[in-house]
């Protein structure tokens, strides 16, 4: 149970501010950190207008963020809450002004159950997956009745798919004995070698303690498959050596009749078509079998037309598979994860929240950020009396998470699989924030806006770290689609990989295009223009834009904001006068842009 301090209820929902999660009828609802922060602020100020500026200033202080980012998160919240923008029960949109939380909100005094801590023996980094593990156990129990199971474990890279499968495959977590055979799909290999992960799994099966029995069964029913493993099969002499899927299905079913068989295929989004056809055949066969196919995959890594997309859809339609989608970890779970990694229950003040914010609940990212802080010397282990303890050497607000090398390399591998134009489109998208508009990308690359929007739509369909989020209404009455990066780290890698001179040119083009789109209303977008001009090292234009934004704020009677903008413009003018060759100013601009 968890203390109810910071708990608020609205209709069937409970918002847990302490642990950073949302509940409905005792069940935790997955909600990434940024949408949660928006919901938490709105619920904390019910029944009144919360302007765009107030929300942005509260959640992203000292950082310029486009207002369209809020639209993205509100759309996500409405979908999750089952809200209707036309007849809102929770979040009412007040056009061009902001939002109002219209549901009644009450403080909750009763405690709410939380996911239990992981039991002993689970792999490191495995937290808050008890519900998913129980679902896998329930699927496994069907095997005793002869009901074969096909289960997809899905989620983004690093979300914990393999950790969940590892935990399930440990005998103590199933309660019943089973054979386990695992195969790993590898990008590019499937193009050259059919059945690559299946052959790896069969090799494990034949080398296991039950290997002799497995070899005898394969030799009798599927000799061609055994021969491809380099093992002799007496009955294989003079028969067709082509691997027939039906033969292997029959052999696996016979093996499963003696002891339940779990066939694990990891990263199925990289599988060859023959392997996917085999999975389909195993699912469609009607004979009783104690056989489970457990496959992990990243749905957003599957391009349009990929056979895995058709396979999952077909099996879902015919109710022949189950899917377990892994959501990001909550704030409390990330803290638990960090405590486990450091082997220290009481963490330095703010460390868990910092890692949760920057990792956005992704376990792989959380651990990489933790290791990054240690390598940087921000987090150090010191001796205290007879024990060691981790403590912060540098305040977290000064440390900055950066992009750990391991994660940067992982993202780079994904980017390198794209063609040069697609890479340029994503790089140009990273010039703003986690959200970007097609018109801005077109301006940065000096390309046709319609062509860029088509390219962005294609990327959103097959690149897992970017997705379409809606449309922007432009001042001329037209519209432009906008997109969001699934994680801020993806955006940061794309931003940093651009040479500084190319990045500066692109920023300046976006700033100029903003001025053209909002001709006569430049003050409305002056802060955004200033951000781009500053990142481009065009300090005179940036200062002029800030003065314009200050005048606009003054007209709105936002005097504090106007004073802040004027001070920023004056500091910029001082830098401009003292910059000499311009290098210090450009470095400052780069650091400022990185904060966004």
**What are the tens digits of pLDDT across the range 58-84?**
877 655 566 667 777 888 788 888 888
pTM across the whole model: 0.69
Range with the lowest mean pLDDT among 36-45, 198-207, 259-268, 461-470?
A: 461-470
pLDDT value at 96 more than 80: no
Position 374 scores a pLDDT of 85
pLDDT value at 213 more than 80: yes
The pair of structure tokens assigned to 411 is: 């993202």
Closest CA to 531 of 539, 521, 519: 539
Average pLDDT over residues 299-324: 85
pLDDT value at 556 more than 70: yes
Range with the lowest mean pLDDT among 71-85, 284-298, 428-442?
A: 71-85
Confidence of residue 303 (pLDDT cuts 50, 70, 90): low
Position 70 scores a pLDDT of 78
Chain segment 420-429, per-residue pLDDT in tens? 999 999 999 9
User: What's the rounded Cα separation, in Å, for the pair 370 and 379?
Assistant: 8
Position 555 scores a pLDDT of 83
Average pLDDT over residues 124-135: 80
pLDDT value at 311 more than 90: yes
pLDDT value at 113 more than 50: no
**pLDDT: which is higher, 334 or 565:** 334
CA angle (20 as vertex; 65, 381 as ends), nearest 5: 90
Chain segment 235-286, per-residue pLDDT in tens? 545 555 788 999 999 999 999 999 999 999 999 988 999 999 999 999 999 9
Average pLDDT over residues 119-141: 75
Confidence of residue 592 (pLDDT cuts 50, 70, 90): very low
Confidence of residue 295 (pLDDT cuts 50, 70, 90): very high
State how beta strands 379-384 and 387-392 pair.
antiparallel
User: What's the rounded Cα separation, in Å, for the pair 167 and 343?
Assistant: 20
CA angle (545 as vertex; 543, 546 as ends), nearest 5: 65
Secondary structure (DSSP) of 30-61: ---HHHHHHHHHHHHSTTSEEEHHHHHHHHST
Q: What is the average pLDDT score of the chain?
A: 82
Instruction: Out of 65-69, 181-185, 373-377, 405-409, give the one with best mean pLDDT.
Output: 181-185
Range with the lowest mean pLDDT among 44-58, 94-108, 336-350, 382-396?
A: 382-396
Average pLDDT over residues 335-363: 89
The residue with tokens 């069940």 is 27
Chain segment 492-546, per-residue pLDDT in tens? 899 999 999 999 999 999 999 988 888 887 777 888 888 898 888 888 888 888 8
User: What's the rounded Cα separation, in Å, for the pair 280 and 321?
Assistant: 10
User: What's the rounded Cα separation, in Å, for the pair 236 and 214?
Assistant: 15
Ordered alpha helix ranges (H), 15-147: 33-44, 52-59, 68-81, 130-141
Position 589 scores a pLDDT of 41
Average pLDDT over residues 313-334: 92
Position 111 scores a pLDDT of 42
pLDDT value at 560 more than 90: no
Position 120 scores a pLDDT of 38
Instruction: Out of 147-156, 189-198, 334-343, 540-549, give the one with best mean pLDDT.
Output: 147-156
Confidence of residue 591 (pLDDT cuts 50, 70, 90): very low
Average pLDDT over residues 301-308: 72
pLDDT value at 551 more than 90: no
Non-local CB neighbours of 466 within 8 Å, separated by 6+ positions: 426, 429, 456, 459, 460, 483, 484, 485, 486, 490
Position 465 scores a pLDDT of 80
User: What's the rounded Cα separation, in Å, for the pair 275 and 273?
Assistant: 5
Average pLDDT over residues 21-44: 80
Instruction: Supply φ then ψ for residue 481, to 5 degrees.
Output: -65, 150
Position 429 scores a pLDDT of 93
Closest CA to 291 of 133, 138, 147: 147
Position 234 scores a pLDDT of 56
Confidence of residue 301 (pLDDT cuts 50, 70, 90): low
Secondary structure (DSSP) of 505-550: HHHHHHHHHHHHHTTT-GGGGHHHHHHHHHHTT-HHHHHHHHHHHH
Confidence of residue 233 (pLDDT cuts 50, 70, 90): low
Confidence of residue 118 (pLDDT cuts 50, 70, 90): very low
Confidence of residue 315 (pLDDT cuts 50, 70, 90): very high
CA Rg value for the chain: 27
Confidence of residue 359 (pLDDT cuts 50, 70, 90): confident
């Amino acid at each position: 149970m968890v203390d109810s301090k910071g708990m608020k209820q609205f209709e069937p929902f409970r918002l847990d501010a302490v642990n950073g999660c949302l509940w409905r009828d005792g069940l935790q609802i997955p909600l990434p950190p940024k949408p949660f922060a928006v919901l938490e602020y709105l619920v904390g100020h019910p029944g009144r207008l919360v302007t765009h500026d107030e929300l942005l200033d509260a959640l992203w202080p000292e950082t310029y963020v486009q207002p369209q980012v809020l639209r993205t998160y509100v759309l996500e919240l409405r979908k999750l809450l089952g809200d209707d923008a036309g007849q809102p029960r929770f979040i009412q949109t007040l056009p061009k002004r902001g939002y109002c939380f219209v549901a009644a909100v009450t403080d909750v005094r009763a405690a709410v159950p939380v996911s239990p801590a992981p039991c002993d023996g689970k792999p490191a980094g495995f937290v808050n997956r008890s519900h998913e593990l129980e679902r896998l156990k329930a699927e496994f129990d069907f095997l005793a009745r002869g009901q074969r199971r096909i289960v997809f474990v899905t989620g983004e890279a690093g979300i914990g798919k393999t950790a969940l499968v590892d935990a399930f495959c440990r005998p103590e977590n199933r309660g019943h004995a089973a054979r386990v055979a695992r195969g790993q799909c590898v990008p590019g290999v499937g193009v050259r070698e059919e059945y690559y992960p299946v052959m790896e799994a069969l090799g494990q099966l034949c080398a296991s303690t039950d290997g002799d029995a497995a070899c005898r069964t394969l030799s009798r029913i599927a000799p061609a498959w055994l021969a491809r493993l380099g093992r002799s099969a007496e009955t294989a002499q003079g028969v067709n050596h082509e691997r027939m899927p039906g033969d292997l299905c029959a052999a696996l079913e016979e093996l499963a009749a003696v002891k339940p068989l779990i066939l694990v295929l990891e990263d199925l989004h990289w599988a060859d078509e023959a392997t996917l056809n085999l999975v389909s055949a195993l699912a469609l066969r009607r004979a009783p079998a104690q056989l489970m196919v457990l496959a992990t995959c990243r749905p957003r890594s599957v391009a349009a037309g990929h056979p895995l997309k058709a396979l999952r859809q077909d099996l879902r339609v015919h109710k022949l598979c189950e899917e377990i989608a892994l959501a990001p970890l909550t704030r409390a779970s990330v803290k638990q994860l960090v405590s486990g990694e450091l082997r220290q229950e009481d963490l330095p003040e703010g460390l868990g929240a910092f890692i949760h914010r920057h990792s956005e609940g992704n376990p792989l990212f959380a651990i990489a950020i933790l290791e990054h802080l240690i390598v940087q010397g921000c987090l150090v282990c010191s001796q205290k009396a007879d024990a060691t303890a981790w403590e912060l050497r540098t305040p977290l607000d000064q440390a900055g998470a950066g992009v750990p090398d391991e994660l940067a390399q992982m993202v780079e591998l994904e980017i390198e699989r794209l063609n040069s134009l697609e890479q340029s489109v994503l790089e140009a998208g990273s010039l703003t924030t986690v959200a970007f508009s097609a018109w801005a990308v077109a301006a940065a690359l000096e390309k046709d806006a319609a062509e860029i929007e088509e390219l962005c739509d294609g990327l959103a369909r097959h690149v897992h770290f970017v997705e379409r989020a809606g449309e922007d209404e432009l001042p001329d009455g037209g519209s432009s689609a906008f997109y969001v990066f699934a994680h801020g780290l993806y955006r940061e890698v794309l931003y940093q990989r651009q040479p500084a001179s190319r990045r500066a040119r692109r920023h300046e083009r976006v700033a100029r295009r903003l001025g053209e789109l909002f001709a006569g209303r430049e003050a409305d977008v002056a802060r955004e223009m200033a951000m781009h001009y500053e990142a481009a090292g065009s300090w005179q234009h940036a200062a002029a834009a800030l003065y314009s934004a200050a005048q606009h704020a003054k007209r709105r009677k936002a005097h504090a904001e106007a004073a802040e903008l004027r001070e920023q413009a004056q500091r910029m003018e001082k830098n401009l006068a003292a910059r000499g060759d311009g290098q210090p100013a450009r470095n400052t601009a780069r650091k400022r842009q990185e904060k966004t």
